[in-house]
Amino acid sequence: MKVLLVNGSCNKNGSTNRALEEISKVLKEEGIESEIFLIGNKEIRDCTGCLACRELGKCVYEDGMVNELIEKAKTSDGFIFATPVYYAHPSARILSVLDRAFYAGKKHFAFKPASTVAVARRSGTTASLDVLNKYLTVSNMPLVSSNYWNNIHGKIAADLEQDQEGLQIMRILARNLAWVMKCIELGKNNGLERPELEEKIMTNYIR
Ligand SMILES: Cc1cc2nc3c(=O)[nH]c(=O)nc-3n(C[C@H](O)[C@H](O)[C@H](O)COP(=O)(O)O)c2cc1C
């Protein structure tokens, strides 16, 4: 089993990476493989709403990030989406990537347990978590929690060592995610399949 740890920061060795390392360490103890997928500092375009992905099954813009994420989602069994907080919201780049990845590749995330993490110097974590959680809760993804909201504090990675509560939240989150993944795997091995999807009804508030 594998967990994809999406890092919505530009910084390879920043605070968000440190939080994900704590999660990765516990997943390894639980016998679960993980990979940090860094969004990084390359140019990323927004979703333009062209809907070409409906036919293609991937994003029409081949800028090397979104379609790579969709490909990795296909072979992942769980996810953590982590972001630094910018002006009390998630990084603009993680939103650009997730808008496109979920629109084009939603079915590859569905029924896989996941959670979100926000890293800030001081404020804006819960508002950021609310935004990221919405990708999961519109995609049939079981949302895994910890013993507190999934935030951790620091301006730079080294600061996170002082946030012992934050590091513990990350470890508990990882253990809970591993447990949910193992329960799903056990169910699958005993004939318990994911629920059948009804055909989507769209009422667009047009009368
Ligand atoms: C443009 C920008 C906006 C920021 N806004 C906030 C904020 O609203 N609240 C906060 O606590 N920290 C804010 N920060 C600080 C970052 O969230 C913090 O330094 C974080 O640890 C960076 O994570 P990273 O090293 O993974 O990129 C901001 C940083 C930048 C660059």
For strands 89-90 and 78-86, give the pairing.
Answer: antiparallel
| Bridge partners, residue 118, by sequence | 83, 151
User: What global pTM score does this model have?
Assistant: 0.97
Element (H, E) at 202: none
Q: How far is the CA of 104 from the centre of ligand 1 (A)?
A: 29
Task: Say how many residues make up the chain.
Answer: 207
Which secondary-structure segment (H or E) carries 116? strand 114-120
Query: Two tokens at 161?
Result: 């060592």
> Cα(88) to centroid of ligand 1, in Å?
9
Q: Which domains does the chain have, with CATH numbers?
A: 2-189 (3.40.50.360)
Considering the chain, what is the average pLDDT of its residues? 96
The predicted-structure confidence for 57-109, as pLDDT tens digits, reads as follows 999 999 889 999 999 999 999 999 999 999 999 999 999 999 999 999 999 99
Ligand 1 closest atom vs CA 17? 26
Taking alpha carbons only, the member of 125, 162, 161 closest to residue 146 is: 125
Per-residue pLDDT tens digits for 156-190: 999 999 999 999 999 999 999 999 999 999 999 99
User: What is the average pLDDT across 136-140?
Assistant: 97
Q: Give 14 Cα–ligand 1 centroid separation in angstroms.
A: 10
